[in-house]
Structure 1
Amino acid sequence: MTIAAKTVNIQGEVLALTNQRCIYWKAKEALILSDLHIGKTAHFRKNGIPVSSEVLQKDLQRLEQLIHHFNPKSLIIVGDLFHAELNKDVLFFKKWMQQFPDINISLIKGNHDKNSFELYDGLNIDLLDNQLELPPFVFVHDIKTYAVNKFYISGHIHPGVLIKGKGKQRIKLPCYQIIKNKLVLPAFSEFTGLNSNTNIEITRCFAITKTQVFEV
């Protein structure tokens, strides 16, 4: 796996936008990611849709390599860590997390995160219902209202960008979007769709591939 990054300066802070669908904030020694949707593949299998468990395993392999690469003290998860009820994927994740006992997880709960305590039992998770404010940023899953003097980092919409080549060539890539006073993270899980709806407020867009991050 190749880990590449594009650094941006936002609100006086340097953020490394990686091609592995997460941000490293060096000043806080934190990995910032969103929309892992753990339990989604098992939920689909339970409902008769044959989705391989390797999807989750590959996502966690990427996260493991990112943790070893950056050696963060914390993970800031901007919503939708889990997708559904307690299931085999969730239990697999709990066992997988045991190798990182010193990493603190802050989870700003998303629309898919459930209230059941058993989902979070045994995990070193600081649960936040609405937002986490770590100046100069406010972390929130899906922004409903803005404060003009704050900068938000969010997830939820699984942003993508359509890259046009010669003739009819088209490719859709996950991306980071900067929209006025917020940055939207791509979904960390590769088992998600991509929303490439054009937003006229987007000021900067960074597409990601397996090997690079580039501004479009």
Structure 2
Amino acid sequence: MILAEKTIVIQQHTFVLTNQRALFWKEAKSLILSDLHLGKTAHFRKNGIALPSEIIEKDLQRLSDLVKHFEPQKLIIVGDFVHAGKNSEFNLFSEWKCQFPELKIILVKGNHDRISKDKLYEIGVTEICEYHAEAHFIFSHEEVESEEKFTILGHIHPGIRMKTSVGRFVKFPSFVVTNSQLILPAFSSFTGLDTKNHPKNSRYYFFTEEGIYEI
């Protein structure tokens, strides 16, 4: 894994954006991500669509690498931790969590997180909430109005569309930042990209496997 970083300051707090679909909040020692969609590929396979199980295994390995690199005390998942009902990928996550027994996992519920809390606690989630407020920030899966706090959210799987030198268009996942919110890319590598429904006056930090870039 090539880890590229871009440091930004929001509300006098330091956030490290990465090309590995997550960010690190230095002051809170927290790794933050959204839209892991645990169980999505297994759900598709169950319904007759052949997808490799290696997709979620690679996502969890990437998460392991990030935890080892940043050494966070907390993992804040900003919604859509799971995709559907309990399946074989839940066992994979439970095994993953055993590597990091001291890591606290805070789950902000998303529209896909419709499974019972007990099943989430069983695989290592520490705390489940509708939104999480900490310092000057609110963590919410979807957009919320707040005049006092900066919002960090997910849900839309943001990306940008760029034209290449040969006239073709390519899409890249992106962090989207405004004066009042930061929208996280989907952590899952098996997701589409929304390149249109973004707030006005946004700054973009798009990334590739090799780097992260601001436009």
SS in 2 for 1:27: coil
SS in 2 for 1:81: coil
Distance 1:133 1:180, change over 3 A: same
Is 1:183 the counterpart of 2:178? The answer is no
Deviation at 1:182, TM superposition (A): 0.5
Contact kept in structure 2, 1:86 and 1:119, CA below 8 Å = no
Unmatched tracts of structure 1, length 5 or more: none
SS in 2 for 1:28: coil
Is 1:159 the counterpart of 2:158? The answer is yes
Deviation at 1:198, TM superposition (A): 5.5
Large movers: runs of 4+ above 6 Å: none
1:5 & 1:191 partners in 2: Cα distance? 22
- 2:38 counterpart letter in structure 1: I
Deviation at 1:170, TM superposition (A): 1.7
Aligned match of 2:122: 121
Aligned match of 2:28: 28
2:201 & 2:51 partners in 1: Cα distance? 34
Unmatched tracts of structure 2, length 5 or more: none
Please list, as runs of the form range in 1=range in 2, the aligned pairs for 1:201-212 lying within 5 A after superposition. 201-212=200-211
Paired residues, what number? 214
Please list, as runs of the form range in 1=range in 2, the aligned pairs for 1:3-152 lying within 5 A after superposition. 3-116=3-116, 117-128=118-129, 130-143=130-143, 145-152=144-151
1:58-99 deviation digits (Å, cap 9, x = unpaired): 000100011111111110000011111110011111112111
Q: Root-mean-square deviation (CA), in Å? A: 1.3
1:52 & 1:33 partners in 2: Cα distance? 23
Contact kept in structure 2, 1:105 and 1:125, CA below 8 Å = yes
Deviation at 1:122, TM superposition (A): 4.2
1:196 & 1:27 partners in 2: Cα distance? 31
Contact kept in structure 2, 1:152 and 1:181, CA below 8 Å = yes
Deviation at 1:119, TM superposition (A): 3.6
Contact kept in structure 1, 2:15 and 2:24, CA below 8 Å = yes
Q: TM-score, normalised by structure 1?
A: 0.95
- 1:196 counterpart letter in structure 2: T
1:120 & 1:173 partners in 2: Cα distance? 34
Deviation at 1:107, TM superposition (A): 0.4
2:163 & 2:142 partners in 1: Cα distance? 29
Aligned match of 1:199: 198
- 1:174 counterpart letter in structure 2: P
Seq. identity, %: 44
Distance 1:124 1:147, change over 3 A: closer
Contact kept in structure 2, 1:78 and 1:154, CA below 8 Å = yes
Contact kept in structure 1, 2:93 and 2:123, CA below 8 Å = no
Distance 1:122 1:173, change over 3 A: closer
Contact kept in structure 1, 2:16 and 2:25, CA below 8 Å = yes
SS in 2 for 1:67: helix
